[in-house]
Structure 1
């Protein structure tokens, strides 16, 4: 989403905790003009604490548990960096992120949660799972449940550390595995439920006894093994050992240079650091100097409105508000079954009504992120306008990436009208991916590509643009040599320009260097929106031409398809975060190694980009007089469901000009053949006898490669099963 106002300030949110999720939602309802918001988080989703016990017990699906941070950020107009922050450079005012350029900030907020790890306990890292972070625990729990249900392991569980949360987790695990004779032991070094009120404690102890869950207090755990826990009193059998003791801050947080208490970031009543009033922290990773409290999600939720106000105030010169936490709060504790106990001012009623109340509260909270207002893509139509303007405005908004390109038919008509090359050092060739220049005893390829932004992260966008441009060189069997950049920046303040260009140049130079090429110059200007492109040269010994395919060749595709559909849905905040993340991962994967594997074998090769798999395959079939039978085409996770829901790239209709030449049932799978790809995979025609070894080599190199079909003599047709 391009900013509607020039960028003058950068706000960075590190972590997708509850406070930041609510800040993003409020920001989307009323953005602060001039501010570019960036969310730095390693995962596209964030599980909600309140629903984890219900998920563990089997009452909620994993999808119901997760807040979709990618969709939320799109709604808020924020860019997302899908990496973990690993530190701060307070002097440069930058966030350190691995494998990419640092991200600059004018204001910063940290909401990264905690871990319940026991790093000094031998064997914990290898054989136990902390209850926090929640996403990691939920994934490991799902795998353990599957193994138990298949009879691969016995349902023996040890929970290290109790408290109310540990007891709640143990009861939930027991309920989920109730048909598999679970044996659950809670190991506690001190009084297990000391923080619960007497009545709530009695209710929890009664339910633990009824479930057959044993609490062993005054136990010192000395080591964790794969199938047992060692204590000073003997070994406890366990195939799933959970760490639920205490709260440990993330290691990098304690090393930021900000004042900390036990590794937690110190904040005052305005939720900002006493050392730097522009740096804030919320949730479990913060230590409130003015009102120390236990670690609980309720505080993150109630901090959010104050945090949102104070971040805006910091960036606009307004007055900050103080956060005053409540002294006590209602605790609704799940009992595994659809019952709960309440802990409130010494009272502890329990029963199914309280579970329904808890379910209502939790579901209402999650609906805040599911029921986001629709993205407004409409434009006002003047009372008097040229014919066709209303239809253009009413049409689907133009996509970014390759989805914003001119259609193949329009482009081909203009290229065919060009005169033939008159220079003797320009090799003739119909439809090849790049120009081929005769260079001494060998050849040089020359190509260019650029596109308008489809994500707001300039570093990742640039990496994808570089790999996209290099695809033409690799497809012709070339080795990348040099590149020139063409950058258009949206209007922004000078500091924001410098920070954005720093990220762009870092991504371009490192990506090109990894490919064996160098960035040797370029051109930069200001315009309406961010656009990134590159002109690239490469050296070739044996050019791979599209016209070289032969009947009997096998078709190999190195990446799944579906980026155009996913990006189109993402523009309207309708794509699941995990699908967007999968598409970005695919687009940012270099094809260098795939090209090295395929080039010695390929009779023909192309990179699948704007004209879709079908369009680029027709480029081979038309030249060679061949037809293709396709099967088993790999798809990016979520692409088929989004296509079934009707999402299409704005280039899709123009791409389907050859749809009559694709024989097979109509539907979303057929449509995805015409889906424009950005930085798509290589499509190669290789001898049939080389398929097995080639797929093994590609898979070992990290590609989701597949044998998708076979070429045969006949008219240029594509048949799909």
Structure 2
């Protein structure tokens, strides 16, 4: 097989706006060999602005509104960094991202971050107002309000442009449908709908009147209170929810980039490149087309996507750029609350249900570009391949992280053949999470672990690998002390090797430093793919906690939800929801030193749940302690989305081997709840045998600290097997 091209160039996209989403789709169908694509966005999804009024009105659910950036990035083969970009170092060509230690390097950069409707200059708005943009934050706030609205809610919309009018009509329709009697008021400091042609403006004003929506023109808002707006004419307006839809403006940090701007928007030329820095592009609402100024509208972002994709490719490959020539006029489709819309272009105006169906068809067709993604087909089987190659290549791609580990049976067989008892300063027992050594009269624990990449993001993998490796030390009741890194990078240009390695060590170093661990060295190499691992020493404060001392009647406590294996496997297959993947990433990246400190001193036996799944690690305690265990399946904490994926027959690579290894040793249970027991976990929680008298208090303390711990069963006398109830 032909090896993959080595990486030589870094292309970074900041923001998951409409233009960038289309560029990612284009890249997935025709990537540039040797160029790594990175998307930086605050969240795992990006809302489509064209459907927001319909969502507010209740015509679309939240999923229909969202472009799943996790799925799109996987389709494109792109690294996705979930975080907010806060600035650039243009000399070093790096991006600062909130929550990341290392900056993100780029050769070519594109910015598509939209605008904000926040009003920092309006007293009280930050505390009591809800900006209509960013759209995802507004949608969250609206969902919370609609979950339990007042019987007679008062809604105020600041801004009488098209956006404010659409939202006012949508809110009035939705709340009426929920059985409320809403009062909706629009406050506009100048003239409402001033930019629309006369016929369209008149029709919208008539629609507002018919809907019973009050419009106050020529009056500004001077202050917001908890449930009150103070107006510039001294009137007070009651409001249970105040929506800011006036004066959408660029994000403040753009003004600090040292790039030429127009009213705060990044000024670009006909090729969409910055007038100041040819390595930087800007598109969408955050950009100002200096060669052809246009109003802020999604249609221009969509039309710019093919030009941006072409020009980025040209910069990466040495080709020629194209100019973007936006149309002079465009179709305006305005939602009217109910399933009715107004359409206007070149002075021709139509409205009604037919226009809504037209708008709905256009919006759904746009979103279908991102929901109907299909994984790229497997490469053909080489001619003359050995028997079994075709079967292996037809199967699902091997998982990353703990889903890629060897099975429990294979590992036990290999380790069982090794000589033991050669040294009296090696105190470990077979199956212990870490080696126990005597060094200079002191007890030391030693462990090693590494992860095959589950994401193309080295920083994310480094953080998870660091937390994961410390799990074995914590599970032995010890404090992590020192770490050696083992890093395999894919084939990269020399300058990229340094940048990738610096990013890995910075992100892992921050995780370790917070737990008092020092990185003291390690080993690096280049290989076919990215993998990161760590060898750690740990210092126990007392006798190490092993698998062998669980007692009859002990409570079985699990400190983290299950499901990382199936979620990571499904993400590779573009079958998991981006929000669920982001939740799993966040859990795997969170250290557990505080959990270990609370639970370790009380545990009779403890292990961390990793590649062999909950059942595989539990049977280790049962065997070592000569006890049986009972699990209440209904009490298992589970990550969002994991059960649904298991019901849909998604499985991690190691799942089947984990299940086969315990054949005949588990009774009861069925379906997704039972399948969770065999799901390989990465950076999983601790599984501990705690005295019944302490378990409930410990779990309550962990939950108060933000850990989803649970009592899931008990140990009892009998054969070492697992019973599910």
- Scaled to the shorter chain, the TM-score interval is over 0.9
Report if aligned partners of 1:442, 1:540 keep a CA contact under 8 Å in 2.
no
Q: RMSD of aligned C-alpha atoms?
A: 1.4
Alpha-carbon distance in 1 for matches of 2:172, 2:314: 48
Aligned pair 1:166/2:158, yes or no?
no
Please give the per-residue CA displacement for 1:458-500, whole angstroms capped at 9, x wherever unaligned. 0110111111111100000111111111111111111111111
Q: Is the 8 A contact 1:445 1:538 kept in 2?
A: yes
Report the Cα distance in structure 1 between the residues aligned to 2:98 and 2:362, rounded to whole angstroms.
38
- Secondary structure of 1:479's counterpart equals strand
Shift of 1:604: 0.9
Tell which deviates more after alignment, 167-176 or 424-433: 424-433
| Residue aligning to 1:547 | 548
Instruction: Provide the secondary structure at the position in 1 that maps to 2:148.
Output: helix
Q: What is the 5 A alignment of 1:46-445? A: 46-100=46-100, 101-148=102-149, 151=150, 154-178=152-176, 179-233=179-233, 234-382=235-383, 384-445=384-445
What is the deviation of 1:701? Answer: 2.4
Query: Structure 2 length normalisation: TM-score?
Result: 0.97
In 2 relative to 1, CA 715–378 (structure 1 residues): closer, same or farther, beyond 3 Å? farther
- Cα offsets for 1:489-548 (capped at 9, x unmatched): 111111111111110111122221111111111111111111111111111122101111
Q: Please, which moves more after superposition, 697-706 or 443-452?
A: 697-706
The change in CA–CA distance for 1:319 and 1:388 in structure 2 (over 3 A counts) is closer
**What TM-score do the two structures reach when normalised by structure 1?**
0.97
| Residue 634, structure 1, aligned to residue 637, structure 2 | yes
| CA–CA distance in structure 2, aligned partners of residues 45 and 660 of structure 1 | 43
Q: CA deviation at 1:697?
A: 2.0
Task: Report the 3-state secondary structure (helix = DSSP H, G, I; strand = E; otherwise coil) of the residue aligned with 2:308.
Answer: helix
Q: 2:649 aligns with which of 646, 662, 671?
A: 646
- Runs of 4+ that moved beyond 4 A: none
Task: Report SS of the residue matched to 2:378.
Answer: coil
Deviation at 1:278, TM superposition (A): 1.3
Contact 1:12 1:40 in 2 (8 A): yes
Q: Which position in structure 2 is the counterpart of 1:524? A: 524
Contact 1:185 1:216 in 2 (8 A): yes
Per-residue CA shift, 1:183-211, capped at 9, x if unaligned?
A: 00000100011011111111111110011
1:649 match: secondary structure: coil
Three-state SS of the structure 1 residue aligned to 2:664 is helix
Aligned to 1:690: 694
Q: Is the 8 A contact 1:79 1:455 kept in 2?
A: yes
Distance 1:327 1:450 in 2: 56
**Structure 1 CA distance for aligned equivalents of residues 224 and 317 of structure 2:** 52
Match of 1:675 in 2: 679
Shift of 1:388: 2.9
Task: Give 3-state SS (helix, strand or coil) of 1:177's partner.
Answer: helix
2: CA distance, partners of 1:695 / 1:448 = 29
| 1:661 CA drift (Å) | 2.0
Cα offset, 1:3, TM superposition: 9.2
Check whether the contact 2:428–2:437 (CA below 8 A) recurs between aligned residues.
no
Q: CA deviation at 1:390?
A: 3.0
Shift of 1:440: 4.3
- Conservation of the 8 A alpha-carbon contact between 1:482 and 1:519: yes
CA distance in 1, matches of 2:421, 2:496: 44
Which residue in the other structure is 1:583 paired with? 584
Q: Distance in 2 between matches of 1:680 and 1:157?
A: 45
Query: Match of 1:349, SS?
Result: strand
Cα distance in structure 2, aligned partners of 1:390 and 1:289: 55
Q: Is the 8 A contact 1:119 1:125 kept in 2?
A: yes
Equivalent residues, number:
716
> Once structures 1 and 2 are overlaid, which stretch shifts more, 260-269 or 107-116?
260-269
What is the rounded CA distance, in whole Å, between the counterparts of 1:121 and 1:630 in structure 2? 56
Structure 2 unmatched runs, 5+: none
